[in-house]
Amino acid sequence: MKKILALIMVLCMVFAFAGCGNDKTIVVGYTIYEPMNYKNADGELVGFDTDLAKAVFEEMGYEVQFQEIVWESKYTDLNSDTIDCIWNGFTANAADDDGVQRADKVDFSYNYMENRQAVVVKKDSGLTTAESLSGKLGVAESGSAGQTYAKDFKGSNFKGFIKQTDCLFEVKSGTADFAVVDVQLAKSYCGKGDYENLMIVEDLSSDVEYYAIGFKKGSELTAKVNKTLEKLAADGTIAKIAKEYGVENPAITDFSNQK
C-alpha cells in the first residue's frame, strides 16, 4: 500500500512539474517578414522581432515557441489562445478596415519601432503620384495596415494576399501595378536580387506608424513585457539586436515618454 501511495505521489509531482512547464511557455504569432521574422540560409527563424521576442521572454523565464499565422486571422488566433501574443511588425496606431482602432481590440505593449506604409512599383512604370494610380491594381496583405492605406488611393482597384512578400511578387511579375507594404520589408527587397526592378515611391509613403506587441485584452503579460523592454533597452540589448538587422534608426530604445 505504501508503495502504491509513493507511486501516486511521484506521478502527481511529475504532472505538477509538467503543468508548470506549460504555464511558462509563450507562443508568439508571426508571419514571414524580413527583417522582422524570416528564415536564414540554414532554415532558422531569425529577425529583429524574433530575436527580441526571445530576449524578452527568456529574461522573464519563459520558453518561447513561434507559430506562423495568417495575418488576417490574427485576432481569432489570439482570442482563441492559439497564440499568446502577436509580435510581427504589428502597427498599433491604426484602425482596421472595419473602422475599429486596433487598440480597442488588443492590449499593446510600448511602441518599439517606427514604420510607414510604402508604395512599391516597377522602376519603369511611371507611377509616381497618387493620381497615376487611378485605374491601376494595388495589392496588400489582407488584414494589414497596408490594406487600409491601399484603399485610400481613389480610383484604384484592390486585391488582398496572404503575405506581404506575395504582394511584391505580384508587382514584380506584372500581375499587379503597385503594392503597399511595410517600409522595413520594402527596403529589404526593393532594388536587390530578384526584385532589382522594384522601387519605393517615397512621396506616397504614409505618416509614421508604430510597431507594438499585441496581447489579449486584460492580459497581465503586457505590463510585464513593458518592464522587460525597459530593462533590455537600458542594458543595450535592443540596440544590439537592431544593429544586427540594420534597423537601428527606426528602433525605439527610450520608453520614458510612453509610461
> In the 8-state DSSP scheme, what is residue 235?
T
Q: How many CB atoms lie within 10 A of CB 46?
A: 19
Write out pLDDT tens, residues 117-160. Answer: 999 999 999 999 999 999 999 999 999 999 999 999 999 999 99
246: left (phi over 0), alpha (psi -120 to 50) or beta: left
Asked whether residue 7 falls in the same domain as residue 103, the answer is: yes
Asked whether residue 227 falls in the same domain as residue 104, the answer is: yes
Write out pLDDT tens, residues 37-50. Answer: 999 999 999 999 99
Range(s) of the domain holding residue 102: 2-113+210-258
Asked whether residue 179 falls in the same domain as residue 251, the answer is: no
Structural domain count, the chain:
2
Q: What is the pLDDT of residue 2?
A: 45
Q: What is the pLDDT of residue 259?
A: 84
Question: What's this model's pTM, rounded to 2 decimal places?
Answer: 0.85
The sign of the torsion formed by the CA atoms of 185, 188, 190, 193 equals negative
Asked whether residue 83 falls in the same domain as residue 157, the answer is: no
Q: How far apart are CA 9 and CA 231, in angstroms?
A: 40
Q: What is the pLDDT of residue 222?
A: 98
- Domain end (from 164, 182, 204): 204
Per-position DSSP letters for 176-211, written without gaps between them = -SEEEEEHHHHHHHTTSGGGTTEEE-GGG--S-EEE
